[in-house]
Amino acid sequence: MSVLKGMYAAEAEYLAAGGPGSASFAPLAPFFAPDVVLHQASALPYGGVWRGHKGMEQFFLAMSRTWDTFEMVDQAFLATTSPLVVLTDVRARARTTGRKLDFPILQTITVEDGRITEVRPFYWDTAAIVDACSPC
């Protein structure tokens, strides 16, 4: 749990400093294993498998291109041993369309030796996300 809470705090610091393309990924790096794997649903604008620290940096860039705002409104930690399970309510605004969307994400997060090794987010409605981000 401490790894995850530390990572969320570092992510907030990273975004406050300008985020992808502006801020250094360095505050986040210690929370992720060098061979971390992030699996995003392929239908999403930032879908695919992202590997390693470089992959995570590229993922944050893709998220930044997709969302103007991406606020984690509420989080519930449903399992507190690895794999951790976190339910997050998100409030976001698409960068290209300005459309706002509220949606949940359920994530399993594997932690080994004090670092995140794998993240698997599950979205209830990927079509709604794609629709919010796609111009008419």
Per-residue pLDDT of 11-46, as tens digits, reads 777 776 767 777 788 888 999 999 999 999 999 999
Bridge partners for 136 per DSSP: none
Q: Which of 126, 43, 133 is nearest to 97 (CA)?
A: 133
Architecture field, domain 2-133: Roll (3.10)
Domain ranges of the chain: 2-133
The region, left, alpha or beta by phi > 0 then psi within -120 to 50, assigned to residue 18 is left
Per-residue pLDDT of 105-121, as tens digits, reads 999 999 999 999 999 99
